A and B are shown apart, each in its own frame.
Chain A
Amino acid sequence: MRAKGLLVSLVLLCSSAVFAQNGGELRFCLRSDPKTFNPLLVNDDASETVRYLTAGFLLRVNRLTQQPEPELATSWKVLDGGKSIRLKLRPDVRYSDGTPFSAADVAYTMQQLLDPSVHSATSDAFRSGEGKLVTRVLSPTSIELTFPAPVANLISLFDGVPIISSASPQKEMAALGPFFVAEHKAGAFVLLKRNPNYWKKDVQGRQLPYLDSIRLDVEQNPDIEAMRYQRGEIDLINTVSPAIYEKLSSVNASFVRDAGPSTDAEEMWFNQVPSAPIPAYKKQWFTSAAFRRAVSAAINREDVARLVFRGHAVPAIGNVPQSNKFWFNASLRPDAYDAAGALRRLQSDGFRLENQQLRDKSGNPVEFSIVTNAGNRSREQMATMIQQDLKKIGINVNVVTLDFNSLLERMTQTFNYEACLLGTVNGDLDPSSQMTMWLSSGEDHIWNPKEKTPATPWEAEIDKQMRIQASTLDLHKRKAAWDQVQKIALEQAPVIYLVNKDSLVAISPQVKNAQPSPFRPQAYWNIESLMLARR
Chain B
Amino acid sequence: MLRSLSLALLRFVVLVLVAGLAGATLVRVAPGFSSDEQELTPGLSSESIQAIRQARLADGNVPRFYLHYLNGLLHGNLGRSQSLNQPVRDLLRDRLPVSLRSLGFALLLAWSFGLALAVGAFRVKSRWLVMAADSSGGALISTPAAVLALVFLMMRWPPVLAVGLLIFPKIYRYTRNLIEECLEMPHIVVARAKGVGPWRLLSWHVVPIAIPQLIALVGVSISMGLGALLPVEVFCDLHGIGQLAWTAAQSRDLPLLVNLTLVVSCLTIGAIMCCDELRRVVGRAAA
Contacts and interface: CB of A to CB of B under 8 A. Distances in A.
Interface stretch (A239-247, A405-413, A524-532): A405-413
A127 B251 CA distance: 29
Which bracket fits the contact residues of B? 35 or more
A51 to B, nearest CB: 15
Interface string A211-238: 0000000111101100100000000000
Nearest to A437: B42
B286 to A, nearest CB: 47
Contacts of A381: none
Contacts of A435: 43
A186 B43 contact: no
B38 A187 contact: no
Contact of B237 (A121, A220, A405, A444): A220
B52 A119 contact: yes
Nearest to A407: B32
Nearest to A441: B46
B252 interface: yes
Given A33-B84, A405-B32, A405-B35, A187 B94 contact: yes
B251 A424 contact: no
A221 B235 contact: yes
A323 interface: no
Given A121-B44, A187-B95, A220-B243, A409 B84 contact: no
Contact of A119 (B32, B42, B44, B247): B44
A404 B250 contact: yes
Interface stretch (A59-67, A190-198, A426-434, A461-469): A426-434
A78 interface: no
Contacts of B52: 119
Nearest to B249: A403
Interface in B83-132: 83-86, 90-91, 94-95
A43 interface: yes
B46 A409 contact: no
A44 B84 CA distance: 10
Contacts of B85: 35-36
B48 interface: yes
Given A186-B94, A227-B154, A404-B250, A124 B84 contact: no
B142 interface: no
Contacts of A43: 38, 41
A450 interface: yes
A426 B42 contact: yes
Contacts of B39: 408, 412, 443
A427 to B, nearest CB: 8
A186 B86 contact: yes
B40 interface: yes
Contacts of A406: 30-32
B37 A408 contact: yes
B243 A127 contact: no
Given A35-B84, A36-B85, A186-B90, A408 B42 contact: no
Closest A-B pairs by Cβ, 5 of them:
A405-B32, A121-B43, A119-B48, A408-B35, A124-B45
Interface of A: 32-33, 35-36, 43-44, 119-122, 124-125, 127, 186-188, 218-221, 223-224, 227, 403-410, 412-414, 424-428, 432-437, 442-444, 450
